[in-house]
Amino acid sequence: MKVLAKHWTKLEGNKVRCELCPFRCVLKEGQTGVCRVRKNIGGKLYTMIYGSVSSIAVDPIEKKPLFHFKPGSQVFSISTVGCNLRCKHCQNWEISQVGPDEFPYLREYTPEEIVAMALPYDGIAFTYNEPTIWHEFNLDVSKLAKKEGLYTVYVTNGYINEEPLREIIRYIDAFNIDVKAFNDEFYRKIVGGHLDPVLKTVEIVHSLGRHLELTYLIIPTLNDSEEEIRKFVQWVHNLDPDIPVHFSRFFPMYKLTDKPPTPVKILHRAYEIAKEVGLNYVYLGNTWEPEYESTYCPYCGNLLIKRVYYNTEIVGLTKDGRCKKCGKKVNIRL
Ligand code: SF4
């Protein structure tokens, strides 16, 4: 649905500049941004996807992945179409790499309808495609969701400007942000963006005290060197060693089919490096090894949360989030 957008500037000659994400697209009349969903119509910027929903599902929160936020809860998850990045390995390219006119299955909903559908569950997640580009709708849904006592989650590439981020963050409880590599060349060649704006988003989300977890998909030869992984985890450690980091296993996908699945030993090595550097919570995704998916107390090693696939069992935590064995407070929001 077409609605006047937020975060744009009028320029001379009926052009507009979108200020939502770091691309800052300058659009002539009739042009659409890199994301395919924001369009200059008559010298004004419109979002073409307000309320336009491509997918609805109910997921365990662990699937986002968020392991330290409301473990075991069920989250009503929605997406639209489009994305401001162009990842060659996108898992959801059928919805992320198309605009609203190219996807015949969009259904229109109001924020009230979305929140009503989410009420039987614990929260709402904006996920599957990039929520940044759905800003106006997400803002209205999340404001309403908070009033109704639902938690709210962003699963994002972090490619958003500071002003809109500070606007939406007031209504978002938890973020999983993809750091897709720790080198700008990867971002330019494989993703079609830059690394620095993503790191800035991570820093802002952390500084504002929102729950934050990071995902790093390890792709053979592209972002898997020990040096790069060490630099990444060192950067996270400097920010906060309590931030959970998920290293995920790559499988050939979309336009990146000339790389093999990530050898599991590379993921194990990334885990070791992160622990050596001093991160307290490190997980491996897509290897299906429960010992790398469960949460242990960083102080005494006690098993806190046991995860086998998407079965989650809180075994070693008190109700106020302390380790049952050593009594120390751990970074888990129950
Ligand atoms: S949100 Fe879309 S239109 Fe706006 S700057 Fe980013 S890519 Fe361009």
Rounded to the nearest angstrom, the distance between the alpha carbon of 157 and the centre of ligand 1 is 14
The CA-atom distances, in angstroms, between 37 and each of 96, 101, 189, 216 are 11, 9, 23, 27
Distance, CA of 120 to CA of 112 (rounded, Å): 14
C-beta 34 within 6 A of ligand 1: yes
C-beta 33 within 6 A of ligand 1: yes
Average confidence (pLDDT) over 64-70: 97
Average confidence (pLDDT) over 149-178: 98
pLDDT at 182 (0 to 100): 98
Q: Would you give the DSSP letter of residue 188?
A: I
Q: For the chain, state the CA radius of gyration.
A: 20
From 38, 48, 134, 194, give the residue whose CB has the most ligand 1 atoms within 8 Å, as the site to mutate. Answer: 38
**pLDDT tens per residue, range 19-60:** 999 999 999 999 999 999 999 999 999 999 999 999 999 999
Q: Which of 194, 175, 198 is nearest to 184 (CA)?
A: 194
Name which residue sits closest to atom 3 of ligand 1, judged by CA: 33
C-beta 133 within 6 A of ligand 1: yes
Rounded to the nearest angstrom, the distance between the alpha carbon of 20 and the centre of ligand 1 is 6
Rounded to the nearest angstrom, the distance between the alpha carbon of 310 and the centre of ligand 1 is 35
With tokens 């924001």, the residue in question is 38
Ligand 1 nearest-atom number relative to CA 37: 2
C-beta 32 within 6 A of ligand 1: no
Q: Is the pLDDT of residue 310 over 90?
A: no
35: left (phi over 0), alpha (psi -120 to 50) or beta: alpha
**pLDDT tens per residue, range 106-158:** 999 999 999 999 999 999 999 999 999 999 999 999 999 999 999 999 999 99
Strand order in the sheet with 295-296: 295-296, 303-308, 311-314
Phi and psi at 253, nearest 5°, equal: -155, 145
With tokens 């242990």, the residue in question is 296
C-beta 316 within 6 A of ligand 1: no
**Percent of the chain residues topping a pLDDT of 70:** 100
Rounded to the nearest angstrom, the distance between the alpha carbon of 198 and the centre of ligand 1 is 15
C-beta 9 within 6 A of ligand 1: no
With tokens 């998920």, the residue in question is 246
pTM for the model stands at 0.97
Q: Which residues of 253-273 are buried (b: 16+ CB within 10 A; e: fewer)?
A: beebeebeebeeebbebbbeb
Rounded to the nearest angstrom, the distance between the alpha carbon of 261 and the centre of ligand 1 is 32
Name which residue sits closest to atom 4 of ligand 1, judged by CA: 18
**pLDDT tens per residue, range 73-117:** 999 999 999 999 999 999 999 999 999 999 999 999 999 999 999
CB contact at 8 A, 16 and 24: no
For residue 13, which amino acid is it? G
Name which residue sits closest to atom 5 of ligand 1, judged by CA: 24
pLDDT at 53 (0 to 100): 98
Beta-ladder partners of 205: none
**pLDDT tens per residue, range 240-290:** 999 999 999 999 999 999 999 999 999 999 999 999 999 999 999 999 899
Phi and psi at 223, nearest 5°, equal: -150, 25
Distance, CA of 47 to CA of 35 (rounded, Å): 10
pLDDT at 197 (0 to 100): 98
Give me the domains of the chain, ranges plus CATH numbers.
Answer: 3-47 (no CATH), 52-237 (3.20.20.70)
Query: What element of type H or E holds 307?
Result: strand 303-308
Ligand 1 nearest-atom number relative to CA 24: 5
Q: Output the six-digit token pair for 108.
A: 């229109």
Distance, CA of 185 to CA of 292 (rounded, Å): 30
C-beta 147 within 6 A of ligand 1: no
**Could you give the residue ranges of the DSSP H alpha helices within the chain?**
93-96, 111-118, 135-147, 162-168, 184-186, 196-207, 226-239, 264-277
pLDDT mean across residues, the chain: 97
Rounded to the nearest angstrom, the distance between the alpha carbon of 138 and the centre of ligand 1 is 16
Name which residue sits closest to atom 2 of ligand 1, judged by CA: 35
